[in-house]
Amino acid sequence: MSVETSLAYQQKFFDDFVNAWQNHSDYRLYKGIDGTASTLRLDIHEVPGYILAYDKSAQEELHHFLRGNLVKWLREYVPFFEVSDDGHVFFGDWYHRREFGTLDVFSREIVHQNEQQQEILPQLQAFAQDPDHYLDDQVDRLRKSVYQEATDLHAQIDDYESVDDDDQQPETRTASNGSTGSGSGLRGLLKNFIDPDDDDDDSSQPAATPLPSRRNRHGVDINRLRRQFADAKEAADQKFDGEKRQLEVAAAVTRYEYQAVMSQYSSIDQFINVLANLSKDYMKTLRKQEEAKRHA
């Protein structure tokens, strides 16, 4: 391409872009931006600066203009999205709603800004697999994780108690069992220790007294392990209660989001596909509007 041909091409491009701006044609403005990005192999976000001689004020004006119509379109295209005028996209209008992302005006897509926003779609996919057990599965995983230390201590105590039981003579074992009162022993103490939702009322039980040191034949202080277990279980109970409540709130929010999606689309995957094609679908809408103006 000669210098003259190149300048003529540039002149035509800028004339077309000026005309599109003067006529408020979002479609032709975007076509100019997309074409320049493709021809010059530029990132789409670099193009407005190139076209407008890197004038920050002019770039902001172009961005503000294009954002206005994109926000209006997205509010209608995905009706359960709440989109602020400055392009922040929220999932629904309910309490504890989550921010889904931010509109990228030049690429015409929703961009996730953090890990919490990135996790929303995978969570919806997981919920869709088994809505009735989504929360239960999470609570079970939480319980196993939170009570792991207490579970390990419980297992150690059981092992050491079993060794002692095996080493005792029958008459000694009988006397020892008789001294435990109800005969429930440690297993009675640990009944359902991993279920923090147990409704048994412990208020009528006498206050626990410190257990004396008691070592088995391997020199292990079993009562010290019991105290460690009691401390670990108490800490786990508190942590479990707090985190379980957070899971319940999060699962309720995910259920609201799922119901909103399914009221508009046949599946979560279809919704994800719609999001992936926002730019193409928006340009189709703008092209139809442009054709309607031309034939008006």
Q: Say if 41 falls within a structural domain.
A: yes
Residues 84 and 182 in one domain: no
Residue for token pair 């407008």: 52
pLDDT tens digit sequence for 68-108? 999 999 999 999 999 999 999 999 988 889 999 999 999 99
> What is the tally of structural domains in the chain?
2
Q: Say if 129 falls within a structural domain.
A: no
Q: Say if 98 falls within a structural domain.
A: yes
What is residue 195's predicted lDDT score, i.e. its pLDDT?
55
Residues 142 and 241 in one domain: yes
Residues in the chain predicted with pLDDT less than 70, given as ranges, are: 163-220
The dihedral through the CA atoms of 35, 41, 43, 48 has a sign that is negative
What is residue 154's predicted lDDT score, i.e. its pLDDT?
86
Could you give the CA distance from residue 103 to residue 84 in angstroms, rounded to a whole number?
Answer: 10
Q: What predicted TM-score, i.e. pTM, was given to this entire model?
A: 0.75
What is residue 245's predicted lDDT score, i.e. its pLDDT?
95
Q: Say if 192 falls within a structural domain.
A: yes
Q: Say if 257 falls within a structural domain.
A: no
Q: State which residues form the domain around 64.
A: 3-118+265-294
What is residue 2's predicted lDDT score, i.e. its pLDDT?
84
CA 181 to chain CA centroid, nearest Å: 51
Could you give the CA distance from residue 81 to residue 264 in angstroms, rounded to a whole number?
Answer: 12
Three-class SS of the chain:
CCHHHHHHHHHHHHHHHHHHHHCCCHHHHHHHHHHHHHHHCCCCCCHHHHHCCCCHHHHHHHHHHHHHHHHHHHHHHCCCEEECCCCEEEECCCCCCEEEEEEECCCCEEECCCHHHHCHHHHHHHHHHCCCCHHHHHHHHHHHHHCHHHHHHHHHHHHHHHHHHHHCCHHHHHHHHHCCCCCCHHHHHCCCCCCCCCCCCCCCCCCCCCCCCCECCCCCEHHHHHHHHHHHHHHHHHHHHHHHHHHHHHHHHHHHHHHHHHCCCCCHHHHHHHHHCHHHHHHHHHHHHHHHHHCC
Residues 192 and 167 in one domain: yes
What's phi and psi for 103, nearest 5 deg? -70, 125
Residues 239 and 150 in one domain: yes
Residues 85 and 141 in one domain: no
